[in-house]
Chains A and B, each alone.
Chain A
Amino acid sequence: MAGEKVALKHGAGGRAMRALIEDVFLALASPVDGIGLSALDDGAALRVGDRWLVVTTDSHVVHPIFFPGGDIGRLSVSGTVNDLAMMGATEPLGLTCAVILEEGFPRADLERIRDSMLEASREAGAPIVTGDTKVMGRGEVDGVVLNTTGVALADRVVTDAGLRPGDRIIVTGTIGDHGMAVMTRRHQLGLEGDLRSDVAPLNGLVRAALRAGGEGVVAMKDPTRGGLASVLHEMAGKAKVGVVLREPDVPVNPEVRAACEVLGIDPLVVANEGKAVIGVRPEAADGVLAALRAHPLGRRAAVVGTAVAERPGQVILDTGMGRRLLAEPDGEPLPRIC
Chain B
Amino acid sequence: MASAPEELKFRDPQKARELTDALAREVELVGHSPVSVMHVCGSHEQAIARFGLRAAFPRGLDVIMGPGCPVCVTDTPEVDEAVALAAQGARVCTYGDMLRLPGTSRSLADAQAEGGKVEVVYSVSQAVDLARQRPAEQVVFFASGFETTAVATAAVILAGVPENFSVLSSHKYVPAAMDVVSEMKETNIEGFVAAGHAATITGYGIFEPFAKRTGTPVVVAGFEPLDVLAAVLELVRLIRLGRPEVVNCYPRCVTREGNRPAQEKLWRVFDVVGGNWRGIAQVPRGNLELKPEWNRVNARHRFRIDTAAVGGASRNVLADQCICGSIMSGLAKPDQCALFGKECRPETPVGACMVSSEGACKIWHVYGGHPDLQEVA
Contacts and interface: CB of A to CB of B under 8 A. Distances in A.
Interface of A: 9, 242, 244, 248, 254, 258, 261, 308, 310-311, 316-327, 330-331, 336-337
B368 interface: yes
Given A318-B52, A337-B122, A323 B377 contact: no
Contacts of A330: 347
A12 to B, nearest CB: 12
B5 A323 contact: no
Contacts of A322: 16, 20, 51-57
Nearest to B2: A254
Contacts of A316: 373, 376
B17 to A, nearest CB: 8
A242 B377 CA distance: 12
B46 to A, nearest CB: 10
A321 B365 contact: no
B59 interface: no
Range, interface on chain B: 20 to 34
A32 B70 CA distance: 56
A327 B367 contact: yes
Contacts of A9: 347
Interface string B345-377: 001000000000100000001111111010111
Given A327-B365, A327-B366, A327-B369, A321 B52 contact: yes
A250 B56 CA distance: 21
B320 interface: no
Instruction: Please list the 10 inter-chain residue pairs (A to B) with the smallest Cβ-Cβ separation, ordered nearest first.
Output: A325-B368, A322-B52, A320-B13, A324-B52, A322-B56, A321-B16, A323-B52, A322-B53, A324-B368, A319-B51
Residue in B13, B50, B52 with the greatest tally of chain A CB atoms within 10 Å: B52
Interface in B1-34: 5, 7, 11, 13, 16-17, 20
Contact of A324 (B49, B225, B229): B49
A325 B367 CA distance: 7
A120 B82 CA distance: 55
B55 A324 contact: yes
Contacts of B53: 321-322
A327 B52 contact: no
Contacts of A308: 376-377
B7 A323 contact: no
A337 B126 CA distance: 13
Nearest to B53: A322
Given A317-B368, A319-B225, A327-B369, 10 more contacts: A316-B376, A317-B52, A321-B20, A322-B57, A323-B55, A323-B373, A324-B367, A324-B373, A325-B367, A325-B368
Interface of B: 5, 7, 11, 13, 16-17, 20, 49-57, 122, 225, 229, 347, 357, 365-371, 373, 375-377
Contacts of A324: 49-52, 54-55, 367-368, 370-371, 373
Contact of A326 (B54, B122, B368, B376): B368
A310 B377 CA distance: 9
Contacts of B49: 324
A326 B17 CA distance: 21
Nearest to A331: B347
A318 B13 CA distance: 11
A310 B369 CA distance: 17
A254 B57 CA distance: 29
Contact of A323 (B17, B229, B376): B376
A21 to B, nearest CB: 18
Given A317-B52, A319-B52, A324-B52, A310 B375 contact: yes
A331 B53 CA distance: 26
Nearest to A264: B357
A316 B373 CA distance: 8
A327 B371 CA distance: 12
A320 to B, nearest CB: 4
Contacts of B376: 242, 244, 308, 310-311, 316, 323
A323 B376 CA distance: 10
B356 to A, nearest CB: 13
A121 B57 CA distance: 52
A321 B369 contact: no
